Amino acid sequence: MSKPALGRGLGALLGGGGRLPNPVSPQPPISESANSVGIHPVPVTGPRRVPVDQIQPSPLQPRRDFTPESLQELADSIREQGIVQPLVVRAMGDRFELIAGERRWRAARMAGLTEVPVLERIASDREVLELALIENLQRENLNPIEEALGYSQLQELFQLTQEQVAQKVSRSRVVVANALRLLRLPAAVQSSIQTGQLSVGHAKVILGLNTPGAQESVVAQVIKQGLSVRQTEDLVSRQQLAATRPTPTPSTPMLPARDPHVVDLEGRLRDRFATRVSLRYRGGKGSVEIRFNSDDELDRILQVTGVSTD
């Protein structure tokens, strides 16, 4: 099943896919569909060329991983064909900051270009971050950790809820919540996800372990032995059993290991209700305990579940 399109007005913002001629072209129209993702870029100029050294990357760019091999391929293409689509920038004093097109800018420098085509826009920090996220998500350029960090930036810089972040980037709230959970992992584990040594499926299972040390230990085994997600689930179950099993005595029964699926679901419920949740499950039966510490917190939980107090 194909993914839904993101940022329907992005093509209009970026100026289409046509090759930019040397003369300055007329200002392309901004499609009303650009507003459908909540972004309102204000045009300043039509396509024009500016010195490549006058442009700087944006600190709000969620993408951090630019592989030398892919950049070299793009640089070779730029030498042959030029830059097909202008970069999108905003003025920052006497320089320009990238809104979209950092990979093209990096490759242009590698190719030895002295000037590049740009479209200048007026955009707020929030719009810059939203545009960068949408462009990268649409092109599937972000690794899972970069995507999670982008959501986290939107949430923290602009005090947005997970639901609001999801609406901004045309994702479901569950997708955003699951991505943000990856940021709970130790830096070394996140690095393994970024490099593709560890899949998101592996990471969800490893989140069932309670300590960074245990998580890093399991990751090392997963990578070394090339374990599948299912094999990782078995490994995590054994780790949990070893961590919770006391020295057996006649009066001390053995404690069963927690199912990693139950642990994962418990974490999702905790994210959903933003409070402590305990999930007990065995053989199709069990209970869910949701904690609250005030009437206001209870009201918020009831609103999340759609229960009215009237």
Residues labelled as active-site residues? 102
Helix (H/G/I), strand (E/B), else coil: 93 = coil
Eight-class DSSP state of 207: T
Pairing of strands 87-92, 285-290: unpaired
**And the tokens for 241?**
């059993």
SS3 breakdown of the chain: % helix, strand, coil, rounded to 5?
Answer: 50, 15, 35
**And the tokens for 74?**
């793009």
Per DSSP, what are the bridge partners of residue 100?
Answer: 88
**And the tokens for 289?**
């305990």
Kindly give, in sequence order, each residue whose CB lies less than 8 Å from that of residue 65, ignoring residues fewer than 6 positions away: 143, 146, 194
CB 89 within 8 A of CB 118: yes
Among 174, 173, 175, 239, which Cα is nearest to 205's? 239
